[in-house]
Amino acid sequence: MVQANLRSMENDHLFIAGVFILAGFVKGAVGLGLPTIAMGLLALVLPPAQAAALLVVPSLLTNVAQMAGGGPLLPVTRRLRALLAGIVAGTTAGVLVLPTALGPGAVILLGAALVIGAVLNLLRVRLPNPEGWSPWSGLVCGTATGLVTVATGVFVIPAVPYIRALDLSRDQTIQALGLSFTVSSLSLALALLAQGVFKQDLAWGSLLALIPTLVGMGLGIRWRQRLAGDRFRMMFDISLLLLGLAQMLAAVSR
């Protein structure tokens, strides 16, 4: 009986490590998807709260690594400064005025928005560069992203479609996503800390989960570097499509 329990625990540990390798690979290859993939698969063996706790360190540190690993950061930061300022403002306002969750319906709508945007890109329906819309477009998109982050826990809408429409290079796109996600996660943590909501200590398991995540991320980065610009954009849009579908399915199954 004891041996069977030990064997089951070992299998769970191997499965969890494999999940973080896979999620890290996708993160390294296309710059996003770590929380969605990891949460979806970890739910098979762990309660949601425990799975979320394991994600804290890998999610934050891989975003920082992604932000810092794409060459000079200042040019990308300058192009995204309005978006980033909006993310901080929207997140702070969201913590003050919004409920912590709007339910599965909101997540389904966000997933549908990702799917529609990805399909349009795959069909080569080009969206105009948002920098030409208005000097306020980045601030508006960032503020909306901050509000959506507080309401649903999803960092990607509308920041990711905004970044996708900027026509950045492959590596700049990855770097811009890392920068946006880092600012989103830090803004949310600081806003909740100021409100006295964010009190959970980081678990050792979350720190240990960083190891397989970085292994997978390194493999994903190597794979991404072999892709030409057009192939990368196609894989990126396919990843957005799958991410949107995964969010919708997860929300429906709750």
For 90-135, what is each residue's pLDDT tens digit?
988 887 876 555 556 666 777 787 788 778 777 877 667 776 676 7
Q: Within 13 A of 210's CA, how many CA atoms are on the CB side?
A: 16
pLDDT score recorded for residue 184: 87
Question: Lowest-pLDDT range, 1-5, 148-152, 243-247?
Answer: 1-5
Q: Average of pLDDT values for 160-166?
A: 87
Query: How high is the mean pLDDT of the chain?
Result: 80
E strand or H helix at 250: helix 229-252
Angle at 205 between CA 204 and CA 211, to 5 degrees: 100
CA 208 from chain centre, in angstroms, equals 20
Q: What is the pLDDT of residues 40-74, one digit of tens each?
A: 788 778 776 677 778 878 988 999 988 887 778 89
Distance CA 203, CA 144 (A): 31
Distance CA 232, CA 190 (A): 34
Distance CA 100, CA 52 (A): 15
Distance CA 69, CA 240 (A): 22
pLDDT score recorded for residue 2: 42
Predicted model pTM: 0.77
Distance CA 79, CA 253 (A): 38
pLDDT score recorded for residue 6: 41
Q: Average of pLDDT values for 68-97?
A: 88
Residue type, 152: T
**Alpha-carbon distances of 170 from 45, 73, 190, 217, 234, rounded to whole Å:** 35, 14, 31, 16, 11
Structure tokens at 12: 């769970």
Distance CA 247, CA 111 (A): 5
- In contact, 163 and 176? CB cutoff 8 Å: yes
